[in-house]
Amino acid sequence: MCRILYLERKEKSEVIPVLKAFAQMAQNSREYQGHGWGCAWWDENRWDFYWDLRPIWESSFEAITPTKRLLVHARSAFRDQGIAIENNMPFVRQNLVFIFNGELHGVRLKETGRIGAEKIFNFVFRFYRGNLLGAIQKAIPIIIKKSRYVRAMNLILTSSAETVLVSQFSEQPDYFTMHELRTSEQVIVCSEPLNLFDSWQPIANQTIKEIHL
């Protein structure tokens, strides 16, 4: 399963050290995270994006400029299938950006999308009326109800002004528990603690919450 990260800071600053720490974490993961990666970062009044089919630990980060907000996704493709740049997250629709880590079985939803994560994103978008938290709170219970088994469903969905985290899993808490680092200057949410920082806190299972400084 994939690895994800969200960063928000009060001031625009360099994020390459965070990307390098995330890349090292992905490389050392017990599950292979090398089916490509992508990121989105906020640049004044719009999102910029970068996607790459190389493993993140084989990539350079010169294209990513200093920013206040960053999302990163390292992909572990389900059954090593669908390895194509268009399947790499972040996914974007209008002003919404989406990253996902998880695995659902027997999902009984009619939704468009090349892979399961994109279908979840598109389903949540059905409920979006300018309020991300409201859309998530309506969509996620339906997705769970319509799934035979939710092994894990960790996702982060953000707009220009709002970010929401979902963390839901049924097994392997040591692998699927999300972690949060919070200071007066920044908040980071990540699949695993990065060795760049101390004082990470686990996020409880079955969490739906807004993320903000």
With a threshold of 0.85, does the pTM exceed it?
yes
pLDDT at 80: 62
| 25-37 confidence digits (pLDDT tens) | 999 999 999 999 9
- The CATH code of the domain at 3-210 is 3.60.20.10
- DSSP per residue, 155-190: EEEE-SS-EEEEEEESS-HHHH--EEEE-SSEEEEE
pLDDT at 81: 64
What residues contact 60, with CB distance under 8 A and at least 6 apart? none
Ordered by start, the domain boundaries in the chain are: 3-210
Q: Please list the pLDDT of the chain residue by residue as tens digits (213 residues).
A: 899 999 999 999 999 999 999 999 999 999 999 999 999 999 988 999 999 999 999 998 999 999 999 999 999 986 666 678 999 999 999 999 999 999 999 999 999 999 999 999 999 999 999 999 999 999 999 999 999 999 999 999 999 889 999 999 999 999 999 999 999 999 999 999 999 999 999 999 999 999 999
Asked whether 146 and 108 are in contact (CB, 8 A), the reply is yes
* Alpha helices (runs of H) in the chain, residue ranges in sequence order: 16-27, 116-125, 132-145, 173-176
